[in-house]
């Protein structure tokens, strides 16, 4: 029993270390497995985390690629539009090129004319330059002449200032001479009026009391019908006797008028308003003037000095009767004599 106890105790003593070794080995195995599990779990976790990160990065890259693809598509569309516009522009350019080619052919002929014109314009430009040089020389000459004229003007101003002192005395003399001249003219006018009155008085005595001869103011009036036929400027034979008496009276008065009185006998021809148109007298102007000249020529033939005779024609524009009756028309057809100053 004691031996059994001893064996059991020895057996127990021999088993325990092995058990401890086994437990230690098992513990080591467990620790190793746990470590391996933890390492494997860490590796798997890290791998999973890396895959998530990579997946996120890939998603971002995918998004960027999607945006780039959309951008490229928009660029492609814009490029397509630009290509279409360029093709249209190309077609338009080709059409313009054809048109310009045709115009160039037409312009080639005009270029020769343009070259000739340019040459002509160059010649004209040279001529204008020469003219400009001549003009500048003339301007310089004119400036010199202007300076000389200014000097002359200054001298004239001095002379004018000197003459102004004499002007007052001259004006007084001129005023005195004017008064004397007015007095002399008034005296001559009165003398001429007196001779005119004497002349008309002699005509009254010579011609008698004929009612067709009248004195109107300062004029002696002859009816044209007594002297001329209608539409004629030739004196009728019956007019000679009356004109001879007129010439005799005028000759008598002519010798009495002093030589310092400038007098004339004005013979005025007048017609009525009825128009005339002939090869000799295109209008009443010519008829009235021709009748006055006929009277003047006859008086010259009777001894009246031509420097004392004047012929004038007034046509129908100085009537003495505005009526339209035959009597009014006859009164307007007349020859007037007026003794007046020259």
Distance CA 155, CA 158 (A): 5
- Give me the torsion for CA of 127, 131, 137, 140, rounded to 10°: -140
Residue 207's pLDDT band (cuts 50, 70, 90): very low
The residue ranking higher by pLDDT, 135 or 120, is: 120
pLDDT digits (tens, 9 = 90+) for 240-291: 988 898 888 888 877 777 777 788 889 999 999 999 988 999 999 999 999 9
- Four-point Cα dihedral 80, 83, 84, 89, nearest 10: 160
| pLDDT at site 109 | 66
In this predicted structure, the answer to whether residue 334 has a pLDDT above a threshold of 90 is yes
What does the domain layout of the chain look like in residue ranges?
186-341
What is the tens place of the pLDDT at every residue in 90-112? 788 888 878 877 777 776 666 67
Bridge partner residues of 266 (DSSP): 310, 338
Burial class (CB in 10 A: 0-12, 13-18, 19+), 273: middle
Which helix (DSSP H) or strand (DSSP E) does residue 322 occupy? Answer: none
- What's the chain's average pLDDT? 78
* pTM recorded for the entire structure: 0.44
- 309-313 and 263-270 as β-strands: parallel, antiparallel, unpaired? parallel
H-helix or E-strand spanning residue 219: strand 219-223
CA distances from 38 to 24, 30, 52, 174 (A): 20, 12, 20, 154
What is the mean pLDDT of the segment spanning 114-143? 78
Fold of 186-341: 60s Ribosomal Protein L30; Chain: A; (3.30.1330)
User: 286: which residues sit within 8 A by CB, 6+ positions away?
Assistant: 280, 313
> What is the pLDDT averaged over residues 23-30?
82
pLDDT of amino acid 13 = 56
Pairing of strands 214-216, 309-313: unpaired
Give the strands of the sheet with 309-313, arranged side by side: 214-216, 219-223, 334-341, 263-270, 309-313
Sort 148 into a burial class: Cβ within 10 Å, 0-12 / 13-18 / 19+: exposed
Q: What Cα–Cα distance (Å) separates residue 310 from each residue in 248, 290, 307, 313?
A: 18, 12, 8, 10
């Amino acid at each position: 029993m004691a031996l059994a106890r001893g064996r059991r105790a020895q057996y127990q003593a021999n088993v325990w270390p092995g058990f401890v070794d086994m437990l230690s080995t098992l513990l080591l195995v467990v620790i190793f497995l746990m470590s391996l599990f933890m390492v494997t779990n860490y590796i798997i976790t890290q791998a999973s985390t890396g895959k998530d990160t990579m997946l996120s990065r890939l998603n971002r890259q995918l998004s960027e690629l999607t945006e780039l693809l959309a951008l490229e598509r928009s660029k492609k569309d814009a490029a397509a539009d630009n290509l279409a516009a360029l093709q249209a522009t190309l077609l338009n350019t080709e059409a313009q090129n054809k048109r310009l080619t045709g115009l160039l052919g037409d312009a080639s002929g005009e270029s020769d004319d343009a070259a000739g014109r340019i040459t002509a314009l160059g010649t004209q430009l040279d001529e204008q330059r020469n003219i400009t040089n001549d003009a500048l020389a003339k301007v310089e000459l004119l400036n010199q002449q202007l300076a000389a004229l200014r000097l002359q003007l200054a001298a004239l101003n001095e002379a004018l200032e000197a003459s102004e002192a004499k002007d007052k005395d001259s004006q007084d003399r001129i005023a005195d001479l004017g008064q004397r001249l007015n007095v002399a003219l008034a005296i001559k006018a009165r003398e001429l009026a007196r001779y005119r009155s004497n002349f008309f008085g002699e005509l009254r005595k010579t011609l008698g009391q004929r009612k067709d001869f009248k004195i109107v103011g300062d004029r002696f009036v002859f009816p044209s019908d007594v002297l001329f036929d209608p539409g004629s400027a030739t004196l009728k034979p019956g007019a000679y006797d009356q004109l001879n008496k007129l010439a005799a009276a005028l000759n008598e008065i002519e010798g009495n008028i002093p030589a310092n009185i400038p007098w004339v006998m004005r013979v005025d021809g007048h017609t009525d308003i009825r128009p005339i148109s002939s090869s000799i007298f295109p209008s009443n102007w010519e008829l009235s003037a021709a009748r006055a000249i006929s009277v003047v020529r006859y008086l010259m033939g009777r001894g009246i000095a031509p420097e004392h005779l004047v012929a004038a024609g007034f046509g129908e524009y100085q009537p003495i009767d505005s009526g339209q009756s035959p009597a009014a028309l006859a009164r307007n057809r007349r020859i007037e004599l007026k003794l007046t100053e020259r």
